[in-house]
Structure 1
Amino acid sequence: MFFSTYARRDSDYLFHDGARPTGVLLVSTFSNKHGGAISESLGPEAIAGHLIGTFGTTIAIDHIDLQLDQSARAIAAKVARDRPSLVGISVKIGALDQLRNLMRLLLPLRYDEGTGPLLVLGGVVPTFATAALLEEFPQVIMVVREGENATAALVDYVRGERSLASVPGIAFRNESGELVATPAQRLKLAQRFLPARLTSERVHKELGGMVWAEASRGCDFNCTFCSIRDLHGGGFDGGISPESVIADLIELDRRGIRAVSFTDDDFGGDPERTAKIARLIKEARLNIRFSISTRADHIWRERLSIKGERLDDAELVDRNRRLRQIMVELAEAGLERVFIGMESGSPTQLRRYGKQVSVEGNYKALEILHELGIDAVAGYIPIDPAMSLTELQENIAFLRRTGMYRKITNPLSVLRVQAGSPYLKLARQRGLLEEATDDLVFFKARFEDENVQRVAELADRWVEDMYVFMFGLKGEVASQTLLLGPGGVATSASRQVENCLFGFRELEMEFIEAVTSRLAHNGGANLRDITETFVGKRSKLVQQVIALVEDGVIGKNPRLQEAIVSMNKETAHAA
Structure 2
Amino acid sequence: MSVILLEHPRPANPKRLEEVVNAPLSACLFTGYITSLLRKNEIEVEIVDAHLYDWSFEQTTSYLARKAFRLLCVHTIYLWEKTQNVFDLLSNLRSAGVTAHINLYGYYPTFAYKNILGRFSCIDSVTVGEPEMTILDLARRLLSEGDISSEKHVQGLALRESKSNVVFHPRPPIHDLDQLPFPDRQDVSLFQEKGIMTYIQGNRGCYGQCTFCYLNPFYGEISQWRGRSAKNIFDEIFKLYTNHAITNFYFSDANFFGPGKTGKERAITLAELILSGNLDISFGFECRANDIEEHSISRLVMAGLTNVFLGLESGDPASLKRMRKHLTVDENKKAIQLLREYGIEPTYGFIMFDPYSTLEGVRNNYEFLKEMGIMTTPAVTAHLLHHRQTLFQGTPDYQMMIPEPTCTGQDFVCSNYDAPYTIKDRRVAAFSEIIAHICGAALSLLPRTFDCATHASAAFTMDTKTGLVMLNHGLIAIFEKTLQYFENNKHSHSQEVIQEMSQRLTHEIRTLVEPYSLLHAGNALL
Give the TM-score normalised by the residue count of structure 1: 0.76
Q: Distance in 1 between matches of 2:122 and 2:207?
A: 36
Q: Distance in 2 between matches of 1:329 and 1:164?
A: 52
The higher-RCO structure (CA 8 Å, 6+ apart) is 1
Residue 42 (structure 1) aligned with residue 29 (structure 2): yes
User: Contact 1:437 / 1:443 at 8 angstroms: preserved in 2?
Assistant: no
Which AA in structure 1 matches 2:486?
Answer: L
1:42-70 CA-partner distances (Å, limit 9, x unpaired):
221222222223x13x4232232324231
2:327 paired residue number: 357
Question: What's the Cα RMSD here?
Answer: 3.6
1:468-517 CA-partner distances (Å, limit 9, x unpaired):
8889777x445x69xxxxxxxx9836999999887765544333322211
Residue 191 (structure 1) aligned with residue 179 (structure 2): yes
User: Contact 2:152 / 2:159 at 8 angstroms: preserved in 1?
Assistant: no
1:165 paired residue number: 152
Q: CA deviation at 1:247?
A: 2.6
2:45 paired residue number: 60
User: Contact 1:212 / 1:260 at 8 angstroms: preserved in 2?
Assistant: yes
Q: CA deviation at 1:439?
A: 7.7
Q: Distance in 2 between matches of 1:428 and 1:204?
A: 42
2:343 paired residue number: 373
1:370-427 CA-partner distances (Å, limit 9, x unpaired):
1111121111102111122111111111111111234575221111222112222443
Q: Distance in 1 between matches of 2:184 and 2:466?
A: 37
1:331-353 CA-partner distances (Å, limit 9, x unpaired):
11111111111111111111111
User: Contact 2:446 / 2:518 at 8 angstroms: preserved in 1?
Assistant: no
1:125 paired residue number: 108
Q: CA deviation at 1:239?
A: 3.4
Structure 2, gaps ≥5 residues long: none
1:142-221 pair list within 5 angstroms? 142-161=126-145, 164-188=151-175, 189-206=177-194, 208-221=195-208
2:391 paired residue number: 417
Q: CA deviation at 1:539?
A: 4.3
Which AA in structure 1 matches 2:178?
Answer: A
Q: Distance in 2 between matches of 1:159 and 1:225?
A: 40
For the residue of structure 2 that corresponds to 1:339, the secondary structure is strand
Q: CA deviation at 1:446?
A: 2.4
User: Contact 2:198 / 2:248 at 8 angstroms: preserved in 1?
Assistant: yes
For the residue of structure 2 that corresponds to 1:78, the secondary structure is helix
User: Contact 2:2 / 2:70 at 8 angstroms: preserved in 1?
Assistant: yes
Q: Distance in 1 between matches of 2:274 and 2:84?
A: 41
User: Contact 1:192 / 1:240 at 8 angstroms: preserved in 2?
Assistant: no
1:142-193 CA-partner distances (Å, limit 9, x unpaired):
1111111111111012113565522221222124542112213312312111
Residue number among 496, 506, 509 corresponding to 1:535 in the alignment: 506
1:187-336 pair list within 5 angstroms? 187-188=174-175, 189-206=177-194, 208-234=195-221, 235-253=223-241, 254-269=243-258, 270-299=263-292, 323-336=293-306
Percent sequence identity is: 22
1:84-128 CA-partner distances (Å, limit 9, x unpaired):
2111111223251441342232222326xxxx2111111121112
For the residue of structure 2 that corresponds to 1:66, the secondary structure is helix
Q: CA deviation at 1:325?
A: 1.2
Q: Distance in 2 between matches of 1:249 and 1:477?
A: 27
Q: Distance in 1 between matches of 2:402 and 2:330?
A: 31
User: Contact 1:29 / 1:91 at 8 angstroms: preserved in 2?
Assistant: no
2:426 paired residue number: 450
Q: Distance in 2 between matches of 1:494 and 1:261?
A: 29
Q: CA deviation at 1:215?
A: 0.5
1:512 paired residue number: 479
Residue 492 (structure 1) aligned with residue 458 (structure 2): yes
1:81 paired residue number: 66
Q: Distance in 1 between matches of 2:65 and 2:128?
A: 27
User: Contact 1:29 / 1:98 at 8 angstroms: preserved in 2?
Assistant: no
User: Contact 1:412 / 1:508 at 8 angstroms: preserved in 2?
Assistant: no
Alpha-carbon distance change, 500 to 185 in structure 1, aligned in 2, over 3 angstroms: farther
Count of aligned residue pairs for this structure pair: 490
1:301-350 CA-partner distances (Å, limit 9, x unpaired):
xxxxxxxxxxxxxxxxxxxxxx3111011111111111111111111111
Q: Distance in 2 between matches of 1:251 and 1:402?
A: 39
Q: Distance in 2 between matches of 1:418 and 1:241?
A: 32
Query: Which deviates more, 183-192 or 261-270?
Result: 183-192
2:94 paired residue number: 107
For the residue of structure 1 that corresponds to 2:30, the secondary structure is helix
Q: CA deviation at 1:545?
A: 5.3
Query: Which deviates more, 129-138 or 389-398?
Result: 129-138
User: Contact 2:314 / 2:350 at 8 angstroms: preserved in 1?
Assistant: yes
Query: Which deviates more, 87-96 or 357-366?
Result: 87-96
Give the TM-score normalised by the residue count of structure 2: 0.82
User: Contact 1:49 / 1:194 at 8 angstroms: preserved in 2?
Assistant: yes
For the residue of structure 1 that corresponds to 2:420, the secondary structure is strand
Q: Distance in 1 between matches of 2:468 and 2:52?
A: 24
Q: Distance in 2 between matches of 1:204 and 1:438?
A: 39
Q: Distance in 2 between matches of 1:23 and 1:471?
A: 43
Structure 1, gaps ≥5 residues long: 1-20, 300-322, 482-489, 549-563
Q: Distance in 2 between matches of 1:448 and 1:96?
A: 29
Q: Distance in 2 between matches of 1:174 and 1:502?
A: 60
Alpha-carbon distance change, 468 to 280 in structure 1, aligned in 2, over 3 angstroms: farther
Q: Distance in 2 between matches of 1:97 and 1:292?
A: 33
Q: Distance in 2 between matches of 1:286 and 1:546?
A: 45
Q: Distance in 1 between matches of 2:375 and 2:335?
A: 16
Q: Distance in 2 between matches of 1:102 and 1:498?
A: 44
Which AA in structure 2 matches 1:363?
Answer: K
For the residue of structure 1 that corresponds to 2:419, the secondary structure is strand
Q: CA deviation at 1:79?
A: 2.6
